[in-house]
Structure 1
Amino acid sequence: MKTRHLFPALHLSLLAVGAAAVLYTPAGQAHEAGDFLVKGGVTLVSPKSNNGTVADGAVKLDVGNNVRPSFSLTYMATRNIGVELLGAFPFKHNIDSNLGRIGSTKHLPPTLSLQYHFLPDSDFQPYVGVGLNYTMFFDTKSQGALEGADLKLKNTWGFAAQLGVDYKLDKNWFLNADVRYISIRPDVKLNGQSIGKAKLDPVVATIGVGYRF
């Protein structure tokens, strides 16, 4: 079974940024209107504990966690307002159930967010964001009790919310940590027939480093 508690992962992400704030004396500079922020790091996607049922309630779904490299590009429209596009290498998730493991799938979750940065003059810059996610599922494979069946998850649109912080190391470089909630609820098809909906709704935690242009 997968580990569900993201608090240790998020704690480590924020602790890493906080430790840098304590140990490093920066020569920071605020993000300015017209800046581009490029970030790279690693992202954990952790679906919620109860991922719904399909086949008239006969099959209870349990979708696993995955960690992959990620990247993002933010354009600062003003000193406070940024527009960010999140991308990543494909995530792979095992699909378990009360029947055992029944398959696996891969997905890409590009997410576009509008952010508000609260303290543009501070080296420690918290922000919040809201946006839109489009999740593309592919390479979905059946196994176990469904071996040989055509299992598919339909691509989805969903709402995203974000809480994060940048910590400036110098004029250009900064550390970043954030956590998102993303609404992802794809239709599940078996041999071309809809059998229900998977309720993934993951928490997505990222830690990385960024560069300001």
Structure 2
Amino acid sequence: MNTQYPIARLIPAIGLSALLGMAPVAHAHEAGDLIVRAGGAWVYPNDSSGDVGGFPGNGVEVEDAFSAGLSVTYMLTDTFSIDLLGALPFTHDIKATGPDLGALGRIAEATHLPPTLLANVHIPLQTEKFQPYAGVGINYTFFFDESTSASLEGALGESKIDLDDSIGPAFQVGADYLLTDKWLLNIAVWYIDIDTEATINFKGDPNDPNDDGSTRVNVDIDPWVVMVGAGYRF
């Protein structure tokens, strides 16, 4: 019996089945698309601080915050895009930590805006509905409306706090899921390098030549930011 003939027929059939099973990769977005996304944004500081000046072993802690987030993406090609991240202002409580200052609890609050510019790579998949992406860029965070708490002023008297602006790298991963040709759902996560120096000014002791009426502390906020929302593709 000739067994080569059915085997010869089977080999191209297997090859054809394999080719049919290998769907081509696709991009959900195309060059020239403008994508606007908005949603809720949660900031989770991964913070650490140096010692508060004059108080070894005592530092500060930055609390979580929530606001509305916004991102605008322009597709340079089917694969690469630029992304501008913005938000409504975030306001964080700042707490004292350590054996001497920890009892003060909340000592201040500060508001900031963290505009971030990123370059992204969009990863093609075998579906045009789902589009993951990842990017790297630069962040500029500026602080405003800083204020001290009643507990701090009870300890130091009338005082004010000032936080330096920050510039540093930022990283993101995210994904879009297309509901229609225009509307989509989005989730994105950023890690942002935010470092600042906080200066607290108060009325010093006029009888102490070493008391200039100020103290400082370096704070690495370095938050994770999570945004969940919806978008529209133009």
Q: TM-score range by the shorter chain?
A: 0.7 to 0.9
Secondary structure of residue in 2 paired with 1:55: coil
Structure 2 gaps of 5+ residues are: 1-25, 202-212
| Residues in 1 aligned to 2:35 and 2:80: alpha-carbon distance in whole angstroms | 12
Matches of 1:129 and 1:90, distance apart in 2? 23
Alignment pair present for 1:140 and 2:161: no
Instruction: For residue 146 of structure 1, report the CA deviation from its aligned partner.
Output: 2.9
Shift of 1:62: 0.9
Aligned equivalent of 1:40, options 38, 41, 63: 38
| Mapped contact 1:51–1:63 kept (Cα < 8 A) | no
Evaluate the alpha carbon distance shift between residue 101 and residue 169 of structure 1 in structure 2; reply closer, same or farther with a 3 A threshold. same
TM-score of the superposition, structure 1-length normalised?
Answer: 0.81
Identity, % of aligned positions: 41
CA contact 1:92–1:105 (8 Å) conserved in 2: yes
Q: Which residue of 2 aligns with 1:161?
A: 171
Q: How many residues align?
A: 186
1:25 paired residue number: none
* 2:221 is the counterpart of 1:200: yes
How well do the aligned residues superpose, as a CA RMSD in angstroms?
1.9
What residue in structure 2 maps to residue 104 of structure 1? Answer: 109
In 2: Cα distance, 1:194 partner to 1:118 partner: 48
**Which runs of no fewer than 5 residues in structure 1 stay unpaired?**
1-27
Whether the 8 Å contact between 2:122 and 2:131 is mirrored in structure 1 is: yes
Q: Following the alignment from structure 1 to structure 2, what is the Cα–Cα distance between the partners of residues 171 and 159?
A: 33
Report the Cα offset of residue 197 of structure 1: 1.1
1:54 Cα deviation after fit: 2.5
Change over 3 Å in CA distance of 1:194–1:78 after alignment to 2: farther
Contact kept? 2:47, 2:220, Cα under 8 Å:
no
Residues 38, 71 of structure 1: 8 Å contact kept: yes
Matches within 5 A, 1:79-118: 79-98=78-97, 99=101, 100-118=105-123
* Residue 187 of structure 2 is aligned to residue 188 of structure 1: no
| Structure 1: distance between partners of 2:180 and 2:87 | 26
1:58: Cα distance to partner?
4.6
Does the CA contact (< 8 Å) of 1:53 and 1:198 recur in 2?
no
Partner secondary structure for residue 146 of structure 1: helix
TM-score, length basis structure 2: 0.74
SS in 1 for 2:220: coil
More deviation, 179-188/143-152 = 143-152
Q: Which residue number in structure 2 is paired with residue 171 of structure 1?
A: 181
**Cα separation, 1, equivalents of 2:109 and 2:138:** 25
Look up the equivalent residue of 2:232 and give its one-letter code.
Answer: Y
- Deviating beyond 4 angstroms after TM superposition, the runs of 4 or more aligned structure 1 residues are none
What is the one-letter code of the residue matched to 2:230? V
| CA offset digits 1:34-58 (Å, max 9, x no partner) | 1100001010011115344321545
Shift of 1:158: 1.1
What amino acid maps onto 1:212 in structure 2? R
Q: Distance in 2 between matches of 1:178 and 1:51?
A: 27
